Amino acid sequence: MCRIAGVLNKKLDTLQLETIVGKMCQLLQHGGPDDGGIATFKNDNLVLGNRRLSLLDLTTAGHQPMQFTDRYTITFNGELYNYLDLKAELIAEGLQFKTNTDTEVVLAAFAKWNTKSFAKFNGMFAFALWDNEEKIIYLVRDAAGIKPLYYSTHTTALAFASEIRAFAPLEYLSTKNENASVFQLAYGYIPEPVTTLKNVQCLPKGCYYKYNANTNKGNLFSFNYFSFGNKINSEIDAKQIIHKSLNNAVQRQMIADAPVGVFLSGGIDSAIIANLASSNSKKNVHTLSIYFNEENYSEKKYQDIVAQKIGSNHHSILLTENEFHANFADFMVAMDMPTCDGINTWFISKFAANEGLKAVLSGVGADELFGGYPSFDRIKKAKILAKLPKAVLLGLGNINNKKLARLSYLKLGGIRGLYLFLRGHFNTKQIAQQLGAYEKDVWNIIQNMPTSPILENCEAKNTASWLEYNLYMQDQLLKDADIMSMAHGLEIRVPFLDNEVIESVFSINENIKYAGKMPKQLLIKSFENILPKEVWNRPKMGFSFPFAEWMKNSEFVNELSHNNNNDYTKKACQDFLSGTLHWSRIMSLIVLKNKNLI
């Protein structure tokens, strides 16, 4: 795992480019504390940069940017989980290797198969690969979108980085995106491909951007795309393929030359991952959990049950309100793109790093694939309501009722309309009030955003899975997991988003996948032989903190309430303190104020 950056700009000389990319890498050092380097191509006005977190081949042989023959150079962020299989295949084809890294396998695979190699990769990655013969640079992102990659082609120059903050040394890209605050208040995060910089965007998952240095022109191509099917039509077959594919994924993701642990929340998903990790490890696996004095939020009982069952080296950490407040400012500094969440991941990653771990497995992705959210029960009604006349939907937006007011979002149509109705934070009227804008302008901004197509002939619950997978998980959970873990030099691996697992689950008939009275019942049945009954036979809590109570005593809330000229923002603070506004809504306002976006 690393952080990457680079600039190709014919208007800047080599020394200027090296200085800029050096500064970009300094801003990314937290995510790559073990090593750093740059590669300069003077004749092409190109500099590639890298900050390395060493997990495979911990020697200097893994230094990046890495070269393969005299033709190819790469700066790579991520992990290629099937690199050993690919390496064996490439050796059989006559290719030779100098290191034990997956990075060299990526280079060799590209040398052999060119862009067709990308679809062969099973892992989480974002990388830039330079072909010094063709004078072409490729920006590539994994199929599940686990690792982010931002880029710009503004002013006939290419710039890219793992985080938005890294673009700061490029003054010509400093213009802020004035619409970012609208999206933050609507979604609770900034949805892809939008960023807080006007001329910087996020590379879509499963895609590569091919940029020609001679012509200064580029094109976007897709190399992998997951879609639903009905190949598996029996529960027995479904359980077998789920168990097999997830076990294979965990086995692949346990490979590392540095310690790997498991986040153990006490819920179903992390309990499954912990059990599989334990069975695929020769040593007692490390598990990490957070618990609280507030019993209504603490899952320590269930964490301990799983840890004792698998005999893990369990690290159980008490998080108190005082520690929450003492670290909140550091959490805000770690944040790259605005988000209303992520602090839970920031704390557990901090504790994991303190225990000497460099990588951990997480249960992210299971809820989206198997139906773990309320949206799976609400989606059918939402699709019916979406057929109401647009004038009716718009009128409902003026009703002084939080849930009914979100009905107006269905006027947008498509997957984003459904999503904002089900998960939206503030409605358009509230957003306009918070920003001192016209509601019509807010509507135009949200309507004109590039949207993901709703799947044709898609059943209701698969539609819910699609929107949770492509919006909430993609734009918030994965982004938060990446930024908040890398702030501590830690890598989060997500076995549920392994290519084999996604393809397997997407191939299961909806009537089997979501059957039963319990959420994720098929997943539970697939692992009922290893899951303690106490873990799954109880209400879902989620990986959450006593935020609502703690934040009422936060100096950030106090600052927002008292040093603000917007009466609507003051009213939002009052509503939060009285318990009528969710903590995540007030977090969005705090974040936007902290980042000078309102």
Average pLDDT, stretch 417-444? 94
Whether residue 544 is predicted with pLDDT greater than 70 in this model: the reply is no
Sole residue written with tokens 């063709």 = 134
β-pairing, 158-161 vs 2-8, is antiparallel
Whether residue 41 is predicted with pLDDT greater than 90 in this model: the reply is yes
**Predicted pLDDT of residue 63:** 83
| Single-letter amino acid, residue 236 | I
Whether residue 1 is predicted with pLDDT greater than 70 in this model: the reply is no
Secondary structure of 348-414 in HEC code, one letter for each residue: HHHHHHHCCCCEEECCCCHHHHHCCCCHHHHHHHHHHHCCCCHHHHHHHCCCCCHHHHHHHHHHHCH
N-to-C CA span, the chain: 34
Contacting residues for 421 by C-beta, under 8 A, at least 6 apart: 382, 385, 386, 406, 407, 409, 410
Instruction: Tell which wins on pLDDT, 396 or 154.
Output: 154
Instruction: Tell which wins on pLDDT, 540 or 535.
Output: 535
Whether residue 543 is predicted with pLDDT greater than 60 in this model: the reply is no
In this predicted model, what pLDDT tens digit does every residue of 466-506 receive, in sequence order?
999 999 999 999 999 999 999 999 999 999 999 999 999 99
Q: Which domains does the chain have, with CATH numbers?
A: 2-222 (3.60.20.10), 235-370+470-540 (3.40.50.620), 546-598 (no CATH)
In this predicted model, what pLDDT tens digit does every residue of 108-145 receive, in sequence order?
999 999 999 999 999 999 999 999 999 999 999 999 99
Contacting residues for 167 by C-beta, under 8 A, at least 6 apart: 24, 150, 152, 159, 161, 173, 174, 197, 200
Whether residue 214 is predicted with pLDDT greater than 90 in this model: the reply is yes
Q: How far apart are CA 360 and CA 358, in angstroms?
A: 7
Percent of the chain with pLDDT over 90: 80
SS3 assignment, position 337: coil
Whether residue 266 is predicted with pLDDT greater than 70 in this model: the reply is yes
- Residue 165 burial (CB count, 10 A): 16
Q: Tokens in use for 37?
A: 């380097």
SS3 assignment, position 143: coil
Whether residue 230 is predicted with pLDDT greater than 70 in this model: the reply is yes
Average pLDDT, stretch 296-301? 87
**Predicted pLDDT of residue 548:** 85
β-pairing, 359-361 vs 260-263, is parallel
Query: How confident is residue 459, by pLDDT bands cut at 50, 70 and 90?
Result: confident
Whether residue 542 is predicted with pLDDT greater than 70 in this model: the reply is no
Q: How far apart are CA 277 and CA 289, in angstroms?
A: 16
In this predicted model, what pLDDT tens digit does every residue of 341-386 receive, in sequence order?
999 999 999 999 999 998 999 999 999 999 999 999 999 999 999 8
Q: Tokens in use for 15?
A: 């020394």
**Predicted pLDDT of residue 58:** 53
Average pLDDT, stretch 188-201? 96
Q: How far apart are CA 508 and CA 239, in angstroms?
A: 10
Query: How confident is residue 315, by pLDDT bands cut at 50, 70 and 90?
Result: very high
Task: Please give the mean pLDDT across all residues of the chain.
Answer: 92
pTM: predicted TM-score of the whole model, two decimal places:
0.95
Percent of the chain with pLDDT over 70: 94
**Predicted pLDDT of residue 215:** 94
